Amino acid sequence: MTDNLFDRHGLAQGEAERIVADALNGADDGDLFLEHRISESLVFDDGRLKSAAFDISDGFGLRAVAGDRVAVAHASDVSLGALKRAADTVSVAARGHQGTLDVAPAGTNRRLYDDLDPTAAPDFGAKTALLAEIDAYARARDPRVRQVSVSLAAERQVVNILRPDGLFLADHRPLVRFSVSVMVADGTRMESGNYGCGGRELYDRFITEASWHGAVDEALRRALVNLEAVPAPAGTFDVVLGSGWPGILLHEAVGHGLEGDFNRRKTSAFAGLMGEMVASPGVTVVDDGTRDARRGSLSIDDEGTPTNETVLIEDGRLVGYMQDRQNARLMGMVPTGNGRRQSYAHTVMPRMTNTIMKGGDTDPEEIRAGVKDGLYMVSFGGGQVDITSGKFVFQCTEGYRLRDGKIAEPVKGAMLIGNGPDALTRIAAVGNDMALDDGIGTCGKSGQWVPVGVGQPSIRINQMTVGGTEA
């Protein structure tokens, strides 16, 4: 497919540029965002293909930014007539505003992923046969397996960004995800385990036999661990978080509070703390959208700004926020390549890409050895966070008691309760085993959902509140 979506719809790019420039006259910023998206999903459940979907969508969003005001008009009809109607709508934002058009994003030739379409291969028949084979393998692994669910999902998003100064940018964004869930039973007790992986690439790496065998085995292992788990204790404990996916707690409890819009409006627990110590020494947190083929990575964000490794907390000190163009301008800061939108029908907000705590120099076994009576949390599920206060509650989906520094019995029903800024100051050890998640994260904010990544090393947080189910 050509990079240029104007050609796809038979539009004169020069005429569209004139319409955009007229609509944004007097505005501080804005753009025309064109999108073409191909997506598919297949779910194999209860021994049969439960659902299969394939979708092709096209549309545009026209945006005008004037001061702290934003006007957006969008349509699935990509035509000059629809664009003119959208221009009439958004021009209201700039009416009476004497802004100077912000400088265009810096150009880049960087490509973090291929331009190929992951929905094209394998074909539908091969995919359904593969899902049936995975289902059969999982059921044969252990007689306690009662239910298996397997899914494949892929998309290819092509975006064009046209600015009123004539700058034209394009990006092709592949994305795949493979996941498996296994339910096991022993007597009347039933438990489940899940595993997922993916990234901005083709299916190839994830559907080799060795890869999907490993995925099924890991989901089954987690289910069997849960089958043996005892009720979690409640109280105050030293807690060790494992590397990789537990970074989702960092993402939710800390990351959102470091997005520019919340800090500009002073609704974040971190507002007004730039330059101050907000975490223990040795804690460095970055948002890095430049990692090849990662789920949260982007060559350019949805405003055309190249993504960066943006340092947020350095050795415990707050040094940066994640910024889109509007909030960066209003705060006198620099855009960081974090302007993101779910689709052409949504507006831009500062959002995370891959949010990562950098590794330290402590061996993970040494971290666990320092805990006499505590908890080792390996994986998390759902949670709730209040951005203003930083308070959070997270469900641990795989956890263990730590007794005299040794991993003991698995526990079920543990909830980690705390405050993001406070938890950062309670970090007592940072491991040398930093790992990224396997590529399954999706982040919600103000009704918009975008793919993200997380990562962290093993860490110990002292004296955290744990909600449990132990009688």
Residue 80, token pair as written in the block: 């000059």
Residue 127, token pair as written in the block: 């995919």
pLDDT at 453: 97
pLDDT at 98: 87
pLDDT at 426: 96
**Three-state secondary-structure class, residue 40:** strand
H helix and E strand count, the chain: 10, 24
Is pLDDT of 470 > 90? no
Residue matched to tokens 């998309």: 155
pLDDT at 109: 86
Residue matched to tokens 């163009």: 325
pLDDT at 284: 98
Q: Residues 297-348: pLDDT tens digits?
A: 999 999 999 999 999 999 999 999 999 999 999 999 999 999 999 999 999 9
DSSP state of 451: E
Mean of pLDDT values over 418-429: 95
Ordered by where they begin, the domains of the chain are 5-228 (3.30.2290.10), 235-467 (no CATH)
Mean of pLDDT values over 247-251: 91
Is pLDDT of 224 > 80? yes
Q: pLDDT confidence of 384, banded at 50, 70, 90?
A: confident
Nearest CA to 36 out of 64, 76, 71, 73 is that of 76
For 433, other C-beta atoms within 10 Å of its C-beta total 18
**Residue % of the chain over a pLDDT of 90:** 92
Q: Residues 71-120: pLDDT tens digits?
A: 999 999 999 999 999 999 999 988 888 888 999 999 888 899 989 899 99
